[in-house]
Structure formats: structure tokens, C-alpha cells
Amino acid sequence: AYKFNDYPIEAPIRDLGNVLMTIFESTHFQMDTSSLNSNLEWRSIYSGPYTLHLGEEHRIFLIALYHQTHCLRGLEYAFLFPNSTAYTPHHIQHCLNYLRQHFLCQADDELETGDFIEWNSSPGSVYHKDRVCRDWKQVHDAAAEDLDDFTTYLSVKI
């Protein structure tokens, strides 16, 4: 019914599949204020829509993936611009706690070889086997489809 606490834990995204992802050091997503490409790359992982509208009353829900990437982007921004007021210390503390809780909730049990301090961190160095990951693009596509549906609903309602 999507009223009060009556809603599922996960978004009702049909057929959320898996993808293989190779985890490696990258020249992308650098923390560089002078690089337009770096800024665009960071923005690309936090591009909306960020919500789903569910149930007969179109109740709005934030998708956790986007809350997580918002926090990741906020930490990167606060690191690069320590004098900015865009992310307050309270906001950063919230993000650290939020990400910490999600990491613990996921309890990723992938085995990593060797000592991570001794890994080769030059760009292109692979330090994990291919991982089976949830397809975040399908989450984004479902949110975009929901936004289209909600926009249509609003235009008919008006």
C-alpha cells in the first residue's frame, strides 16, 4: 500500500540482473579540481533521477544507491574544497555514518590476495578477480522510467 511503514525493503525493479566488474586502479575519478573530465566523471555516478514514486498516491522514495553516491561525492567535494560550506561538518558526519552502516550491512566477503598496502596502484593494475555485481544501470533506467511515468501522471492530473 506504500503508506506509513507498509512498503518493501527493496525497490520493485523487475529482473535486476548482475554484471561482471573488474576492480582495478584507474586514471578516472581523480581528485583534481582543475580537471573538467574528473568533475564530469564524478558527476556521472550521481546523476538523477534519484527517486521512485510508488503506490496509488505516488509516494516518493529515495533510492539508496543515489544516497550512497551523493555521500561519496560529498566526501570527495569536502576533501577538495575544505573551506566550502556546500557540505557542512554535520552533513559529512551523516555521510560517513551512512556509508559505514551500508558497508557493514553488505558484509562483503570477497577474498582479497596479499597485503593491500603492497598492491601495485599504477593505473590499469587489476587487484581483484572479476566481481559479480548488481547492475546499477538497471536501477538508473528504472528510476528514469518512473520519472517519465510520474511526469505523465502529473500532466494528466493537472
Task: Summarize the confidence of residues 14-26 as an average pLDDT.
Answer: 84
User: Does 81 score more than 80 pLDDT?
Assistant: yes
User: Does 119 score more than 70 pLDDT?
Assistant: no
Query: What is the total count of domains within the chain?
Result: 1
Three-class SS state of 52:
strand
Would 23 be classed as within a structural domain?
A: yes
Tens digit of pLDDT for each residue in 36-77?
Answer: 888 888 888 877 788 999 999 999 999 999 999 999 989 988
Would 108 be classed as within a structural domain?
A: yes
Task: Summarize the confidence of residues 129-138 as an average pLDDT.
Answer: 88
pTM, rounded to two decimals: 0.83
Would 1 be classed as within a structural domain?
A: no
Q: Do residues 119 and 127 lie in contact, with contact meaning Cβ atoms separated by under 8 Å? A: yes
Identity (one letter) of the amino acid at 75?
L
Q: Do residues 16 and 134 lie in contact, with contact meaning Cβ atoms separated by under 8 Å? A: yes
Task: Summarize the confidence of residues 107-134 as an average pLDDT.
Answer: 76
CA angle 10/42/9 to nearest 5° reads 5
Would 3 be classed as within a structural domain?
A: no
Three-class SS state of 4:
coil
Domain range enclosing 33: 18-157
Give Cα separations from 59 to 2, 12, 48 (angstroms). Answer: 7, 13, 17
What percent of the chain shows pLDDT beyond 90? 54
Q: Is the dihedral of CA 88, 92, 97, 103 positive or negative?
A: positive
| pLDDT at residue 44 in the model | 82
Q: What is the mean pLDDT of the chain?
A: 87
| pLDDT at residue 87 in the model | 92
Contacting residues for 40 by C-beta, under 8 A, at least 6 apart: none
Provide the pairing of β-strand 131-134 with 18-21. Answer: antiparallel
Label residue 112 by pLDDT band (50, 70, 90).
confident
